[in-house]
Amino acid sequence: MADEATGGFQIHPMDQFIVKPLFGGDHIAWYTVTNVTLWMALAVVAIAALLIYGTRRRAIVPSRSQSVAEMIYGFIYNMVEDVTGHEGVKYFPYVMTLFLFILLSNLLGLLPMAFTTTSHVAVTVVLALLVFLGVTILGFIKNGVGFLGMFWVSSAPLAIRPVLAIIEVISYFVRPVSHSIRLAGNMMAGHAVVKVIAGFASMAIVSPVVIGAVSALYGLELLVAVVQAYVFTILTCVYLRDAVGGAHH
């Protein structure tokens, strides 16, 4: 995409998000191998490299890569256990899948010329809907109709309970929206801003400032990449607690 910036002072900050077929052609069918496929596959490879190749020695005293894998495992395991309780631990692999996919997609997206899969609403909406539908179905399976008691705030005075119930229902259905837009918006905005500022590097006068600014923004984006993966995961745990831990907040 660098060739586009050469034609004078043109910045295309959104071009990096374009989905395009890897092996030529214009039409994108649901099965077409695209840059989405490539970067998701790279995320899978990175996860396998870290969690399988990195732990191949099964050492009592871990190597560096095994330590990283164990730290991620312990971090997410403790998060699931702390937030959802013992009942939630059996959904740990699912939460771990979400966390690792988002973390690795965010981080791989920061490589130059990379495509950030998590900056697409299509991807994050599916992730958020998986959580939303999963939690809702699980809540009804576990608690039956009693799951609806979550919306009936029994600690509030009787008179305002119906109002609170409406607010609770609305907030419940807004969850997947905020859950998905937060992640996609953060990733997209960060990458777009970096691209816009980097575009100014073609002006020789400001280019030193631009390079410094892009470096600083890159560090910020690294932080955002990790924090957003964390936020998505902990919100998943919080939502899961509603289903697993019953109606009590």
Q: How far is the CB of 16 from other proteins (least distance, A)?
A: 9
CB of 129 to other proteins, least distance (A): 10
41 or 220: whose CB is closer to other proteins? 41
Which CB sits closer to other proteins, 120 or 241?
Answer: 120
Residue 231 and residue 183: Cα distance in Å, rounded? 9
Which tokens hold the place of 194?
């970096």
> Could you list the residues that contact other proteins (CB under 8 A)?
1, 3-4, 12, 14-15, 17-21, 24-26, 28-32, 34, 36-37, 40-41, 43-44, 47-48, 51-52, 55, 58-60, 62, 66, 69-70, 73-74, 92-94, 96-97, 100-101, 117, 119-123, 126-127, 130, 184, 188
What 3-state DSSP class applies to 59? coil
Minimum CB separation of residue 32 from other proteins in Å reads 6
Q: What is the nearest approach in angstroms of other proteins to the Cβ of residue 2?
A: 10
Smallest gap from Cβ 34 to other proteins, in A, equals: 6
Residue 15 or 208: the one with the smaller Cβ distance to other proteins is 15
Nearer to other proteins, 98 or 150 (CB): 98
Question: Shortest gap between Cβ of 81 and other proteins (angstroms)?
Answer: 13
Q: Which is nearer to other proteins, 25 or 208 (CB)?
A: 25
Q: Is 56 helix (H, G, I), strand (E, B) or coil?
A: coil
Q: Which is nearer to other proteins, 66 or 136 (CB)?
A: 66
143 vs 186 by CB, closer to other proteins: 186
**C-beta of 1: minimal distance to other proteins in Å?**
7
The beta-carbon contacts of 103-107 under 8 Å, at least 24 apart in sequence, are: 103/225, 103/226, 103/229, 104/43, 104/46, 104/47, 105/39, 105/40, 105/43, 106/187, 106/224, 106/225, 106/226, 106/228, 106/229, 107/222, 107/225, 107/226
Q: Which long-range contacts (CB under 8 A, 24 or more apart) does 108-115 make?
A: 108/39, 108/42, 108/43, 108/46, 109/39, 109/187, 109/191, 109/225, 110/218, 110/221, 110/222, 110/225, 113/1, 114/39, 115/16, 115/17, 115/35, 115/36, 115/38, 115/39
